[in-house]
């Protein structure tokens, strides 16, 4: 039940809230949408709630697409590395990845999608009213700056933490065929050495990812030598 609630909350902040902001901006150009929201001086109909929810989902998906086209590309071109994932280890890390998406990436989607939605809604308001007060413009700029900073931080954290178990790494094939045993060490290496299939507790990974010591990084090594043995 708790996992379902977290999933619903993530979808709410990632799509519905940004979509609602975009819908509010469109209400200045559409009497129908204004009637759904009750901003036209009339009581919204009972069916208006359903229309608002569906339209918010659609608006959120539209904002997410625009975020992918613009915001993501700007972030990746201005310092945030776009990593390549190694999906061959996904079956062993799917629980940890789902936890990371729910507690990190959904917040990035909220910041990025809302950034786009506020920008479009503000433009729709200005187009409808023909003016925007200085104080309102300052508030919009401040909100946009906060959302932009939040999106950069959460996207960077998501990539850095997901790279601990999904980044492409050099695979050393052990001649003995033994499986790797995960070990956390203090090491300067920023990649995973994962010969064979990796099995480890997802809670250990989560704890190490979110509560590491200052010099501790995740390194997976084999309980035997990772160097292949030569046979005569």
Check: CB of residue 106 under 8 Å from CB of residue 13: yes
Write b or e for each residue in 20-39: b if 16 or more Cβ atoms lie within 10 A of its Cβ, otherwise e: bbbbbbbbbeeeebbbbbee
Tokens of 192: 């995973």
Question: Across residues 108-132, what is the average pLDDT?
Answer: 94
Which residue has tokens 């949408």? 33
**Distance between CA atoms of residues 199 and 115, nearest Å:** 39
Tokens of 139: 């508030």
Check: CB of residue 124 under 8 Å from CB of residue 49: no
pLDDT digits (tens, 9 = 90+) for 15-38: 999 999 999 999 999 988 988 888
Tokens of 2: 């708790």
pLDDT digits (tens, 9 = 90+) for 171-223: 333 333 433 333 333 333 333 333 333 333 444 444 544 555 444 444 444 34
Residue-range domain boundaries for the chain: 2-167, 169-232
Please tell me the pTM assigned to this model: 0.69
């Amino acid at each position: 039940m708790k996992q379902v609630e977290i999933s619903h909350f993530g979808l709410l902040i990632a799509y519905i809230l940004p979509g609602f902001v975009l819908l509010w901006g469109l209400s200045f150009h559409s009497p129908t949408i204004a009637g759904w929201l009750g901003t036209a001086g009339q009581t919204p109909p009972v069916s208006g709630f359903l229309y608002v929810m569906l339209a918010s989902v659609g608006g959120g998906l539209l904002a997410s697409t625009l975020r992918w086209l613009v915001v993501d590309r700007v972030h990746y071109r201005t310092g945030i590395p776009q990593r390549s994932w190694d999906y061959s280890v996904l079956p062993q890390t799917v629980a940890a990845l789902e936890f990371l998406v729910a507690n990190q990436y959904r917040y990035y989607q909220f910041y990025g999608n809302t950034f786009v939605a506020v920008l479009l809604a503000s433009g729709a308001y200005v187009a409808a009213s023909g003016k925007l007060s200085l104080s309102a413009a300052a508030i919009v700029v401040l909100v946009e700056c906060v959302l932009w900073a939040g999106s950069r931080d959460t996207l960077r954290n998501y990539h850095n933490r997901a790279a601990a178990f999904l980044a492409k790494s050099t695979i050393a094939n052990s001649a003995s065929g033994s499986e790797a045993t995960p070990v956390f060490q203090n090491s300067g290496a920023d990649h995973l050495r994962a010969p064979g299939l990796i099995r480890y507790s997802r809670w250990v990974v989560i704890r190490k990812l979110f509560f590491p010591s200052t010099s501790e990084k995740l390194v997976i090594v084999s309980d035997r030598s990772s160097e292949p043995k030569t046979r005569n």
